[in-house]
Structure 1
Amino acid sequence: MNIKQLMATATLALIIAHNAMAQETFNEVSYSPKSTTFKLNAPEKPTLRLYDAGLGGKAYKKVKLSQTAPNVWTTTVKGDLKGKFYTFDIGRGETPGTFAKAVGVNGKRGAIIDLAETNPAGWDSDKRVPTRSAADLVIYELHHRDFSMSPTSGLVHKGKYLALTEQKAIDHLRALGINAVHILPSFDFASIDELRPDKPQYNWGYDPQNYNVPEGSYSYDAALPTRRITEFKQMVQALHKAGIRVILDVVYNHTFDIDGSNFQRTFPKEYYRYTSSGKPSNGSGCGNETASERTLMRQFMLESIKYWVEEYHIDGFRFDLMGIHDIETMNLIRSELNAIDPGIFVYGEGWSAGKCAYPEDKLAMKANTAQIPGIAAFSDELRDAIRGPFSDDTKPAFLAGLPGMEESVKAGIAGMIAHPQIDYSKVNYTKKPWADEPTQMIAYVSCHDDMCLVDRLRASIPETQYDEETLIRLDLLAQTAVFTSQGVPFMLSGEEMLRNKKGVHNSYNSPDSINEINWQNLKEYPQVLSYYSGLIKLRKLHPAFRLGRADLVRKHLEFLPVQEALVAFRLKDNAGGDKWKNIYVILNGSTELRTVTIPRGKYTIVCANGEVNESGLGEMEGGDVMVDSQSALILHD
């Protein structure tokens, strides 16, 4: 039995064990016009309170729930309660429970609605976009406000879900060529006051409150519980019609706080990890961490993920600080999703923000990626080898022509798999391959949680502060490594417009003036969008760049001899059935013109001097090939 068969057998055993010990589902409110049933997992008898409004006023009715199983309490209230609101209370403060599917303004009370009435016209025929292989994905990470808030965007629905339904937004995404939008946390989070939608407020949303309800501030009426749900579905529907997948950023690793959280007010201490001294563990860096290995939290995550897939037709999930979650739970999630649609993509940050109160070898850390088949992790190896370390914004790397990062770049190009031509002893953050398949690695050079690429270049390479030509040249070179990697390519929204955030590294609550994308840059720097879209088109049209399997990568990806700050490789023998026999990619981070030797013959140039054209930019002879400084060259025979 090979390792993959062993993993499959172990996962099946986990599912059987999980099903055997699982309590009833978290479906806390079941509505019908004749009656509504409420259910809660709690250690003590809860009181149900019913309200006419989502905020303010006194409860018009109180009901004690009855125990139907260990720690399971239920009650049924007769009559049509649609439009009413509710809370549970076991004596620790009122809460909408852990699994509210609709809430009032600011998420303090659950809302009783008919979910079927939230479906936009044609929702029943909306389908997830089919995915043949994760290698085919091109992911575009965006924040709702960043994307649409600037007056230069020309979008009507500024800062709202509906911005992504507008034709201009759809046309831009299609012109760029991406096929998956990763939306930053869009569940109900705690830091924005939904009562004051006109007040300037900003947050990335990594402060969870109600995990299974769309955030109200991105809707036009947070006080109307159904509206945020309908508008979220309209967004998904519009993107699906355009052939674009929707990936949801999920933050199950911590809550906004402990004592005020729905978890703690429902079942104290069951959802969190604690140190040996009894204090809350803080692997998230936010004051707490959840305990995915415990029955209630594990079950909650499984049910929540399935709910977003089934109710909102979500195509994938990005797990914030995935390294806090245990391996068993992540494998269960992958198995549950496989039963629904194996094409649903799952990836996350393969690290934590601090030490967790759980053994590291049992956590979904990047080093343990081989134990979570079908789940990917971000490669900080490639990111930092290209542009410099996350820990020091001023320190450059490959893009500055510095030697020593060549093996790290090669590992990222291969997808962090074992490859006979990669010396992992020289790779920056890992000394052995951590991915079994290239689709388990996310290739990127920037994301929301860091400087954007332009700011990073300006902070680390002084010349780019006054020389715009060099800035653009290095920007394009960086993304060439990303889009020719055998991993899954990922980009931050606005990079195709030469976005900047005025040098702010951690802009989680910076104003729109810092975070918003300046769409005017499309007119000022058209060559940047042209290059990005050209790279994406090249990747889509040529399977050699997205082989998807480690054995094929080892067979067809051949590295040429490295030079200082230069990495070159060949995708050979019609890799993946490609119509091009041999493709050469040369990434020259050096400040000098370099010579690379390839076999003699006639070649077509498809990328050079800041231009990409799949049909060809010209022809050249093989032999000693000259590669301009700080640029990429791609050619084929």
Structure 2
Amino acid sequence: MYMVMIHGKQHEKSSNNPPVTGHKKVSITLHYHRYDGDYRGWNLWVWLEGQNGRMVQFKDGSPFGQTATFEMEDARGISRVGFIIRKSTQENDWASKRFDDRFITEFDENGHSEVWLMQGLEKIYHDVNEVNAAPRILSAKLNCRREIAVTTNLSFDWEHDSISLDLEGASIEEIIVSKDHSSSDLAHQLTIITNEDLSLTKAYKVTISHFGSCPVSLGDIVRTKEFDHAFGYDGELGALYSKEKTLFRLWSPVAHEADLLIYSINSDSPARYRMERGEKGTWQVEINQDLNGVSYMFRVRVGNDWIEAADPYAKAVTINGEKSVVVDLSQTNLPNWDKPSPSFNHPEDAIIYELHIRDATIHESSGAMHKGKYLGLAESGTKNADGVKTGLDHFADLGVTHIQLLPIFDFWTVDETKPETQYNWGYDPKHFNAPEGSYSLDPFSPQLRISELKTLIQAIHSRGMRVIMDVVFNHVYDVPRSSFQQLVPGYYYRYADNGVLSNGTGVGNDTASERYMMRKFIIDSLLYWAKEYKIDGFRFDLMGIHDVETMNAVRKALDEVDPSIIILGEGWELDTALPESQKASQVNAHKMPRIAHFNDSVRDHLKGNNFSDQDAGFVNGRSGCSYPVKQGITAGMSLAYDRLSYQDPCQVINYVEAHDNHTLWDKLVLTNPDAPEQDLKSMHKLATSVILLSQGIPFLHAGQEFMRTKGGDHNSYRSPDSTNKLDWDRKAEFEQEVSYVKGLIALRKSSKAFRMQTKEEIKKRLHFYPSDEHLIAYRIEAGEEENKYGSYIVVHNAHHHPVTFDLNSNGPWHVLVNGYDSGYEPLSIVKRNQIEVSRLSTFVLAKPRTV
């Protein structure tokens, strides 16, 4: 999470914002037409992401209406400008507003954009000739069983104008005319109350004199259980390909008509095929040709409007995800692609390493030929100028078991035609089932990016590591432009009681995983990635937005593919329109067996709160942190958390840094600005050792082993490569520290004492020694399966002076970890019953069974 300024007010948001790229200066001409002709108090509020907003006044812009002109500047470049049309009074600048955040994204080569807006319409027009001000019914929506909400583009006087209304297919009991225009920019709204319950499947039509007719679409009723019961569909969706034919099937119960648009390679004018209505709100058409590589779109009529949308189930896409593509996936497979993933049995055996594809090889010393690409990371034998291993060879040599890749699905905010000019983490999904093109050598080839990603996955597997995919189902980047909203408006998202989109994610919308078809989409997508790409685990971004039932359904579905697939996520408690008891958050962990949660408590108590630059933790000098760190060491098993309800160690992901917020090194520099570099290194190693020796599942951020720095940038989601790249020369500089982490990983792998699988085991075999606030010491009794050592003592000394620790038992004790080195072979042997533990260090001692 991080803080940004939006509309001149401070909000906490997740790291899913787009990068700002493009022109450094833009000029905008915005025309605004109000049907009522009353422009008093109306003005614009405009902003750039990360900057304060400002007001822009309208001026007379006849004949269309009124016009506002303004300029925006940002040295980092501008790809979109946010705006809100609002009404100000003497008492309140924000007395009223029309729609939520909208963005101008289209600029000419000189950075100029001219747009037209109309009262009551959210759409942004880029050509005045597209604007139609003729009287018409904008929508007629079935919101309740006996209630249809009708919206027109022009207001009228129901009492004095010669207006008549007819409802075809049902009888009218009452018509209620909306008189409150302060809460709505719609020129006119009315509600039809019917005498009888309306059917979800029957066709109705509203006709208003002078305004024409409009078929009744399904409105707010789409968010009811009866809608899910009526239209929940269990079959396959999307483009179902074979060489002989392709069946296209979409789900849009609200559509009155649907077309398939097929684009030939040499033409932008599509061939149109009428789709037939199928069961449960589906539409389908079958084309008896080999359509491999052909682009397509869906076109649906909702109300009076025709909407063109990409296939939400698209497995391949054109450049920048503009169109869906039919693909013969068998042609993207590699030799030996059927070879299974490396064997893996217990989630506690995992050591997860989080990595951004571009970061891994973009450094000039990465030794990779295809820097920043899928294939660059897949390369073997890469080294820097000093002969130091880089890339996958380094990660495998380090000993991690799982590479967790930041988003690899197709995302919005990097222009794939010039990816070298932009950067983004990718938490802004566009196509959930198609790979991102900016990591491909040729993003114009829909099939190539698929085979390149498979090449990378195979390369990771061939080195004995598994792959975890970062998935972002909790929100979409742009609701109006999302296929979900275009095909079934209002269904896929949560709404607050006031009808506004729920915003627990902090990025403008929350998806509604509890709805039948959203849950189905999530499960279908995960099964597709697991089966087609052999993905071995899924990390859920902002998992607390989702509901418990969905996450358990995900676990069950993936178990049928491979029970060793890991599921982990951010189980934060988020303010979304869902009861707390249903949220997939840490407090409900007991309801979600074998689903892991990131442990932010051990993170913040080791190094200090993530959202305070100066707050410190156990390793960097703060008192009062030892008990929460001990909770983390036991994965909350023997020292339980107050509200968090972990039941098994596999539910806990222990970590001290990740892609979000400051790296551990940068945090230590902030909290201890006068500390010598050697002390910073010692604190860093101390924190990492706590993570790698704790029960549960350890998680490392890429470069943590060589004390990665981002130069103090705490939110580098769109920062340049110079900030984000893995510095392979730094690895050579911190060679001893890398060796230390490698030794800790080897020690963890060597003994099940550090990766016990049940709460009962941990409570029985792990015991803490009494100590002060700056020292944590505990003993683990080894299991009967271990022949070499019978017990271990772990001492974490956060004091700035050495500490003499009483072992309570004569030696010999084998020292496996000291302040400088680590491993599973003895560094030295202690025969007395005391040992001096170096300042700011971790010591691990083991007693041989033969003694």
Superposition TM-score, scaled by structure 1 size: 0.92
In the alignment, which residue of structure 1 is the partner of 2:243?
A: 33
Q: Structure 2 vs 1, CA of residues 575 and 183 (structure 1 numbering), >3 Å: closer, same or farther? A: farther
Q: Using the alignment, how far apart are the partners of 1:470 and 1:82 within structure 2?
A: 60
The alpha carbon displacement at 1:79 in A equals 2.1
1:579 to 788, 795, 804: 788
Q: Using the alignment, how far apart are the partners of 1:155 and 1:165 within structure 2?
A: 9
Structure 1 residues 121-520: aligned runs within 5 Å = 121-124=335-338, 126-167=339-380, 168=382, 169-197=391-419, 199-351=420-572, 354-417=574-637, 419=638, 422=639, 430-464=641-675, 467-520=676-729
Residue 63 (structure 1) aligned with residue 273 (structure 2): yes
Q: Using the alignment, how far apart are the partners of 1:200 and 1:498 within structure 2?
A: 27
2:295 to 65, 80, 85: 85
Q: Deviations over 1:277-328 (max 9, x none)?
A: 1111011111001000001100001111100011000000000000000000
The alpha carbon displacement at 1:33 in A equals 2.6
Contact kept in structure 1, 2:374 and 2:456, CA below 8 Å? yes
Q: Deviations over 1:445-487 (max 9, x none)?
A: 00001111111110111234xx211111111101100000101
1:531 to 722, 737, 740: 740
Q: Using the alignment, how far apart are the partners of 1:190 and 1:179 within structure 2?
A: 30
Q: Using the alignment, how far apart are the partners of 1:622 and 1:431 within structure 2?
A: 40
The alpha carbon displacement at 1:497 in A equals 2.1
The alpha carbon displacement at 1:122 in A equals 1.5
SS in 2 for 1:386: helix
Q: Structure 2 vs 1, CA of residues 320 and 71 (structure 1 numbering), >3 Å: closer, same or farther? A: same
Where does structure 1 lack aligned partners over 5 or more consecutive residues? 1-17, 425-429
**Matched letter for residue 645 of structure 2:** W
Which has the larger displacement, 150-159 or 298-307? 150-159
The alpha carbon displacement at 1:574 in A equals 3.8
The alpha carbon displacement at 1:562 in A equals 2.5
SS in 2 for 1:489: strand
Contact kept in structure 2, 1:129 and 1:243, CA below 8 Å? yes
In the alignment, which residue of structure 2 is the partner of 1:599?
A: 808
The alpha carbon displacement at 1:432 in A equals 4.5
**Matched letter for residue 540 of structure 1:** K
**Matched letter for residue 162 of structure 1:** L
Q: Deviations over 1:120-171 (max 9, x none)?
A: 12212x2122221001100000001111100011111211111232113232
Q: Using the alignment, how far apart are the partners of 2:818 and 2:446 within structure 1?
A: 53
**Matched letter for residue 308 of structure 2:** E
Q: CA RMSD in A?
A: 1.7
Q: Using the alignment, how far apart are the partners of 2:476 and 2:505 within structure 1?
A: 9
The alpha carbon displacement at 1:522 in A equals 2.0
Contact kept in structure 2, 1:606 and 1:615, CA below 8 Å? yes
Residue 108 (structure 1) aligned with residue 322 (structure 2): yes
Q: Structure 2 vs 1, CA of residues 130 and 20 (structure 1 numbering), >3 Å: closer, same or farther? A: farther
Contact kept in structure 2, 1:118 and 1:230, CA below 8 Å? yes
SS in 1 for 2:619: helix
SS in 1 for 2:790: coil
SS in 1 for 2:514: coil
**Matched letter for residue 109 of structure 1:** K
Q: Deviations over 1:87-132 (max 9, x none)?
A: 01224642222100111111111111211001112212x2122221
Aligned-pair identity in percent equals 38
**Matched letter for residue 39 of structure 1:** R
Q: Using the alignment, how far apart are the partners of 2:229 and 2:842 within structure 1?
A: 52
Contact kept in structure 2, 1:600 and 1:621, CA below 8 Å? no
Q: Structure 2 vs 1, CA of residues 21 and 74 (structure 1 numbering), >3 Å: closer, same or farther? A: closer
**Matched letter for residue 394 of structure 2:** H
Contact kept in structure 2, 1:28 and 1:100, CA below 8 Å? yes
The alpha carbon displacement at 1:613 in A equals 3.0
1:50 to 262, 266, 272: 262
Contact kept in structure 2, 1:605 and 1:618, CA below 8 Å? yes
Q: Using the alignment, how far apart are the partners of 2:470 and 2:501 within structure 1?
A: 24
Q: Deviations over 1:467-517 (max 9, x none)?
A: 211111111101100000101000000111221000000110001011001
Q: Deviations over 1:170-224 (max 9, x none)?
A: 3211211111000001000000111223x42100000000000110111111111
Q: Using the alignment, how far apart are the partners of 1:400 and 1:531 within structure 2?
A: 19
Contact kept in structure 1, 2:588 and 2:644, CA below 8 Å? no
SS in 2 for 1:527: helix
Q: Using the alignment, how far apart are the partners of 2:403 and 2:376 within structure 1?
A: 13
The alpha carbon displacement at 1:19 in A equals 11
SS in 1 for 2:699: strand
Q: Structure 2 vs 1, CA of residues 226 and 23 (structure 1 numbering), >3 Å: closer, same or farther? A: same
Q: Using the alignment, how far apart are the partners of 1:92 and 1:521 within structure 2?
A: 56
Superposition TM-score, scaled by structure 2 size: 0.69
Contact kept in structure 1, 2:238 and 2:248, CA below 8 Å? yes
Where does structure 2 lack aligned partners over 5 or more consecutive residues? 1-227, 383-390
**Matched letter for residue 248 of structure 1:** M
- Number of residue pairs matched? 604
Residue 118 (structure 1) aligned with residue 332 (structure 2): yes
**Matched letter for residue 555 of structure 1:** K
SS in 1 for 2:262: strand
**Matched letter for residue 378 of structure 1:** F
The alpha carbon displacement at 1:573 in A equals 4.5
Q: Deviations over 1:523-544 (max 9, x none)?
A: 2111011001000000011111
1:74 to 268, 274, 284: 284
Larger relative contact order (C-alpha < 8 A, sep ≥ 6)? 1
Structure 1 residues 534-545: aligned runs within 5 Å = 534-545=743-754
Contact kept in structure 2, 1:34 and 1:78, CA below 8 Å? yes
**Matched letter for residue 161 of structure 1:** Y
The alpha carbon displacement at 1:593 in A equals 2.0
The alpha carbon displacement at 1:273 in A equals 0.4
Q: Structure 2 vs 1, CA of residues 210 and 580 (structure 1 numbering), >3 Å: closer, same or farther? A: same
SS in 2 for 1:123: coil
The alpha carbon displacement at 1:416 in A equals 1.6
Contact kept in structure 2, 1:388 and 1:396, CA below 8 Å? yes
Q: Using the alignment, how far apart are the partners of 1:596 and 1:19 within structure 2?
A: 65
Which has the larger displacement, 621-630 or 154-163? 621-630
Q: Deviations over 1:248-303 (max 9, x none)?
A: 00000000010001111121111100011111101111100100000110000111
The alpha carbon displacement at 1:548 in A equals 1.7
SS in 2 for 1:58: coil
Higher-Rg member (1/2): 2
**Matched letter for residue 357 of structure 1:** A
